[in-house]
Amino acid sequence: MLRLLVVFIHFLLLASANVEKTIFVAPPAVTLPQDAAIDNLLLEPLHPERLSVRTFFNASFPTDDKPHGDESWALLEGLSPRQRHELRICWLATQPTAFQIDTFTMAEAFETAELIISLTTYSYARHAQLSAAEIDALKANRFKTPGGSDRSSVLFLRVQAAADYFSLNKTLMENVPPVHVDLILDPYLFNVFPISLLPTAGYIIVVAVSAWFISVVVYQLMAAYIQRNEPSGAPEVEDKKTQ
C-alpha cells in the first residue's frame, strides 16, 4: 500500500498537462496610490476572496519583437506578506499555447520603462475591449482591505502567451484566437503545502489508514480460518506408532 501511495504522489507531481504555474513569496505590504491609478488599469484581480477567475489572454506566434508572444496582465492583491503562494494557469488542450509567467512588485512595474509601457499598452486595449458594465464589474471585484486600510501586499502578474501549433488552416495561422484560461491563486499552508491539495491529502491519509486497519482484520480472519481447517491426521499417526 505504501508503494502505491508513493507512486501516486510521484505521478501527481509530474502531472503538468495544460497547466503552467509560478511559485512566489508575497512581498511586504505597501501603500496603495490614493487615486484610481490601479483601478484604471482594468487588470483582472485575484485575492483571498477571489482565488480563481475564468478569462482569456491574447496569443500570437513568436517574433523578434515578441519572442514569447502577446503580453497580458493581472493583479494579485490582498496577499499575506512572506507567505508562499502558487499561481496556476489552466487552459484547454484544443488551444496549444506556451505560457511564460512573471510577477513584479509595484515598484518594479511602475519604475521599469519596459514594464510600464507593456502595462499601459495592455490597459488601453482593455479599455477598448470592455463595456461600461464589464468595467464596473471588474472594479467591484477589487480586494477590500480590512478597515479601509490603504496598505496591501500587491504583485503585478505578467503572462506572455505564444501560439504553439501548426495548422493547414490559413486563418488560424494568420489570426491566433484568444486563449481561454482559468487563473488560480493558491496560498500555501505553513509555506509548505498548497491549501487546494488539503482535501486530496486528507483523502489519501484516510484511504491509507483504512487500508492498514482492514489488512489487519483480513489477516486475523484468514489466520483463524486456517487454524480451524488445519488437518488433524498427524497426531493419529503418531498414536498408532506408539501402540
pLDDT of 227 reads 85
Strands 193-194 and 52-57: unpaired
Question: Domain spans of the chain?
Answer: 18-191, 198-242
Task: Determine the distance from the C-alpha atom of residue 57 to the mean position of all C-alpha atoms in its chain, rounded to a whole number.
Answer: 17
pLDDT at position 16: 46
Instruction: Mention every residue, 6+ apart, whose C-beta is less than 8 A from residue 66.
Output: 60, 160, 162
C-alpha cell at 179: 486563449
Q: For residue 89, what pLDDT is reported?
A: 97
Q: 14 pLDDT exceeds 50?
A: no
H or E element in which residue 151 lies: strand 151-163
pLDDT in tens, 58-69: 999 999 999 999
pTM score, two decimals? 0.78
| Tens digits of residue pLDDT in 30-58 | 998 877 789 899 999 999 999 999 999 99
pLDDT of 197 reads 82
Angle between the 2-14 and 198-228 helix axes, to the nearest 10 degrees?
160
**Residue 137 in 3-state DSSP?**
helix
Q: Which residue has the higher pLDDT, 175 or 227?
A: 175
Percent of the chain exceeding pLDDT 90 equals: 62
